[in-house]
């Protein structure tokens, strides 16, 4: 009798252990991000994101030419972005700074900042980089390595999605109750090119605009409830996985965004699993998290490598797919409108 009861007790312990080992935990080191708990909060009705309009915002940026700092195209596009943000109801400012690149050149950078509903205490930060890379260093044809790229996807797509989100909110009869801040970071894409021979291969050669802003915020003591960075969010066949630094600093926001995308039917774009890379992607969100202390995630087209058009001449308007723009833009609009429930 004692032996039978003891066996039954061991069986109960084993069953309990199997059950608890499969439960969700907030600890990023223990959480199984492939199977988070379902989000059962109701979705607030959000307005429709217009992918055609977002596509037009990309075309407009590309019409200036590659937005390489210190160039005329860069200056003209900066003016356009500021005026467009103002038309969309944002109060704007330009944060000017100077930065030295890996090849010891000095660049005049411009972080372009806009704010919607500035009186709201709860604020969401949306960001993208707007500069173009001055190299095509992943081109097989080495004669093209010093040619700047159009950066339709790697830069312009994130800016366009954010502009269209603001335009949609401006024209909507009901607006989210949160405040929205926008930062278009400059000098993100001027890091050490492929094959460059130099002793210092520090990651600090990338993301110069976000590095500057994170230590010199446009408003003293500025903070936000959370932030979302968009980088390479417009290409055909894009897949967005959980990026490691995003999980480390803002796992809850990753889960909210990806679950929202799946509930809207965009699970074929937002893949609910971690990238297969070992470390995180050194992108603008890293410095916003580490230095500005604002939890920010990165929505980026990356699994275990960048797509084939990355840092090549193929990063042009032909690579852009409106269905990808729609998936990203509609998901973010829904996330913003859902904040009214929280």
Distances (CA, A) of 187 to 64, 142, 275: 17, 23, 25
Within-domain flag for 14:
no
Within-domain flag for 8:
no
The pLDDT of residue 149 is 98
CATH code at 149?
Answer: 3.40.630.10
130 with 61: CB under 8 angstroms?
Answer: yes
The pLDDT of residue 202 is 52
Alpha helical stretches, state H, 130-243: 157-171, 208-215
User: What is the full DSSP assignment across 53-93?
Assistant: HHHHHHHHHHHT----TTSHHHHHHHHHHHHHHHHTT-EEE
Which residues face 184 on adjacent strands? Answer: 112, 128
SS3 of residue 150 by DSSP:
coil
CA 140 to chain centre: 28
Within-domain flag for 142:
yes
59 with 159: CB under 8 angstroms?
Answer: no
Within-domain flag for 94:
yes
Distances (CA, A) of 39 to 111, 272, 334: 35, 13, 13
Within-domain flag for 225:
yes
The pLDDT of residue 259 is 97
The pLDDT of residue 22 is 28
Please state, in angstroms and rounded to a whole number, the distance separating the CA atoms of residues 44 and 339.
9
The pLDDT of residue 327 is 98
SS3 of residue 303 by DSSP:
coil
Measured in residues, the chain has a length of 342
The pLDDT of residue 195 is 67
The pLDDT of residue 30 is 34
The pLDDT of residue 41 is 72
- pTM, whole model, 2 decimals? 0.88
Within-domain flag for 12:
no
Domain enclosing residue 317, as ranges: 39-341
Alpha helical stretches, state H, the chain: 2-21, 51-63, 72-87, 157-171, 208-215, 244-263, 284-290, 322-338
Instruction: Identify the DSSP state of 176.
Output: -
How many other C-beta atoms can be found within 10 angstroms of the C-beta atom of residue 134?
22
Nearest Cα residue to 194 out of 113, 140, 138: 138
Which residues face 183 on adjacent strands? Answer: 113, 127
Here the tokens at position 335 are 């996330």
* Longest CA pairwise span in the chain (Å): 89
Within-domain flag for 58:
yes
The segments of the chain whose pLDDT lies below 50 read 1-33, 199-201
Within-domain flag for 13:
no
Q: How many domains does the chain have?
A: 1
The pLDDT of residue 42 is 77
Please state, in angstroms and rounded to a whole number, the distance separating the CA atoms of residues 313 and 86.
32
The pLDDT of residue 35 is 52
**For the chain, how many helices (H) and strands (E)?**
8, 8
Taking the chain, what is the end-to-end CA distance rounded to the nearest angstrom? 55
How many other C-beta atoms can be found within 10 angstroms of the C-beta atom of residue 87?
12
Please state, in angstroms and rounded to a whole number, the distance separating the CA atoms of residues 204 and 211.
8
């Amino acid at each position: 009798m004692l032996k039978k009861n003891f066996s039954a007790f061991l069986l109960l312990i084993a069953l309990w252990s199997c059950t608890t080992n499969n439960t969700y935990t907030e600890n990023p080191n223990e959480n199984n991000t492939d199977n988070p708990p379902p989000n059962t909060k109701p979705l607030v009705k959000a307005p429709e994101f217009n992918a055609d309009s977002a596509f037009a915002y990309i075309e407009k940026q590309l019409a200036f030419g590659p937005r390489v700092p210190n160039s005329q195209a860069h200056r003209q596009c900066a003016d356009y972005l500021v005026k467009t943000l103002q038309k969309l109801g944002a109060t704007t400012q330009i944060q000017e700074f100077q930065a030295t690149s890996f090849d010891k050149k000095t660049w005049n950078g411009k972080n372009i900042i806009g704010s919607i509903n500035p009186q709201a205490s709860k604020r969401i930060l949306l960001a993208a980089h707007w500069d173009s890379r001055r190299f095509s260093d992943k081109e097989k044809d080495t004669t093209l390595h010093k040619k700047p790229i159009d950066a339709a996807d790697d830069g312009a797509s994130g800016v366009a999605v954010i502009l269209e989100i603001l335009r949609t909110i401006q024209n909507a009869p009901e607006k989210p109750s949160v405040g929205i801040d926008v930062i278009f970071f400059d000098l993100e894409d001027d890091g050490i090119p492929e094959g460059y021979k130099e002793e210092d291969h520090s990651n600090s050669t990338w993301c110069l605009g976000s590095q500057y802003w994170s230590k010199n915020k446009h408003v003293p003591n500025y903070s936000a409830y959370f932030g979302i960075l968009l980088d390479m969010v417009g290409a055909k066949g894009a897949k967005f996985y959980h990026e490691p630094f995003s999980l480390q600093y803002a796992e809850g926001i990753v889960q909210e965004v990806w679950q929202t995308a799946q509930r809207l039917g965009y699970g074929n774009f937002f893949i609910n699993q971690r990238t297969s890379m070992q470390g995180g992607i050194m992108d603008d969100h890293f410095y916003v998290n580490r230095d500005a202390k604002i939890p920010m995630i990165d929505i980026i087209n990356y699994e275990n490598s960048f797509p084939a058009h990355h840092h090549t001449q193929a990063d042009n308007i032909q690579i852009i797919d409106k269905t990808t723009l729609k998936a990203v833009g509609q998901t973010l609009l829904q996330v913003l409108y859902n904040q009214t429930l929280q």
